[in-house]
Structure 1
Amino acid sequence: MIIKAYHPNGTPDLRRWLVQCDACPAQGPLLGSEEWFIPKNPDMFMYCPGCADYFTMRLISTGLSCAGCGNPNLKLKRVGHHPSSRTQDAVCGHCDSYLNPYTGWHFIDPPF
């Protein structure tokens, strides 16, 4: 959602407008929110970069199957141990091969 602020004379004060994620409590200034998912349709949800990445990977993982063994059971797993890490891999539930959004598929050799 966009939280609007106004000058005392009633005109919009765009420097104080905030954007708030519809999936988590994240918010920030509207100016400089290029990484946020803000749709043109005001009836759609808007997402912070972390939530947009998460939902994107969820959609990708449901439309893919493992390139190593063909199993459609892919789970999302956060990459890195730092809490601010937003990158997630789609990991195969059968052979543990994984798809990284930046580096592609990484295959685990049998035996599984």
Structure 2
Amino acid sequence: MQDTDVEHRLDRAFLALADPVRRRLVARLSRSSATVNELAEPFTMSKQAISKHIQVLEKAGLITRTRDGQRRPCHLAPAALEELTSWIDGYRLVAEARFRALDHVLASMKAADSHDSV
């Protein structure tokens, strides 16, 4: 897989998650699968508006839909969420390493300062 493919998926996913309604939909789907009607219940907007939000999440690869008789439940796509988490984690690990190095420098300076004042 090329880096540009990954970048496009990340761009679509983060753009989709930039909207608070879509984040609430993802949060709801993290508990269990749901139909459009079930997802629309807590919102004051129309089912058509919720459907458009669902389409954005689906195009971003964050959710999938299946057919269960007459029902078309939406499900979270764990692989897409894992890709986002892994991307963020890479930067988190770098930042943590820098903070550990800074802590070490500060501890060394403190130890040297206390040694000098003795």
Q: TM-score, normalised on structure 1?
A: 0.26
Higher alpha-carbon Rg: 2
Which structure dedicates a bigger proportion of its chain to helix? 2
Which structure dedicates a bigger proportion of its chain to strand? 1
The one of the two structures with greater contact order (alpha-carbon pairs below 8 A, sep at least 6) is: 2
